[in-house]
Structure 1
Amino acid sequence: MPEISQFYGIIIRMYLIDNEHPPQHIHIKYGEYEAVMELTNLNIIDGSLPKKCRQLVREWAEIHQDELIEMWSTQNFHHLEPLV
């Protein structure tokens, strides 16, 4: 599972489509927490994150939303700039 970005102890990954299912989404890990965020509406659809972490991930995903959707569609994974 390619790591797309990492910031403030938050790891963002995306699985290869062969092993995944719709909707388009990313996987987030923060300490003991894990969650899945849908890319079209940026809602958490599985798992949970602390509120501040969820806000940071959403802010980052808003910046990179088009790139994330393109990565999902093309399978051309690359590192995205972290939130600073």
Structure 2
Amino acid sequence: MPEISRFLGIVIRMFFDDHNPPHFHAEFQEFKAIISIKNAEPLEGYLPPKQLKLVQAWAIIHEVELLENFVTLGEDHKSWNKINPLQ
């Protein structure tokens, strides 16, 4: 699963040909969650509250880029665009 961003110990990944709704995978230490791109809410899994808030802030800032990766690049099996980390 390709890594598209990394910040503050959090790794963000996406799968090619992943299912709807549009989402990404976030990992922090042993915790993993699937996060909706549209509303930045967890769909599955768990992240500690602090890391979840960081991931949600990042997702809101980068919603357009995330959707482009999920919809356009995912369907075409092209390389994901890297997305800037949260600073």
The two structures share one fold, judged by TM-score above 0.5: yes
**Alignment partner of 1:27 is 2:30:** no
1:83 is matched with: 86
2:51 is matched with: 53
**Alignment partner of 1:38 is 2:36:** yes
Alignment TM-score, normalising by the size of structure 1? 0.93
Q: Which amino acid aligns with 1:6?
A: R
Instruction: Give % identity.
Output: 41
Q: Which amino acid aligns with 2:2?
A: P
For structure 2, list consecutive stretches of 5 or more residues without a partner in the other structure. Answer: none
For structure 1, list consecutive stretches of 5 or more residues without a partner in the other structure. Answer: none
Partners of 1:22 and 1:80 lie apart in 2 by 21
1:8 is matched with: 8
Query: Per-residue CA shift, 1:42-75, capped at 9, x if unaligned?
Result: 1101000000000000011111001100111111
Partners of 2:64 and 2:6 lie apart in 1 by 18
Runs of 4+ in 1 over 4 A off after TM superposition: none
Shift of 1:2: 1.4
Aligned CA RMSD, in angstroms, stands at 0.8
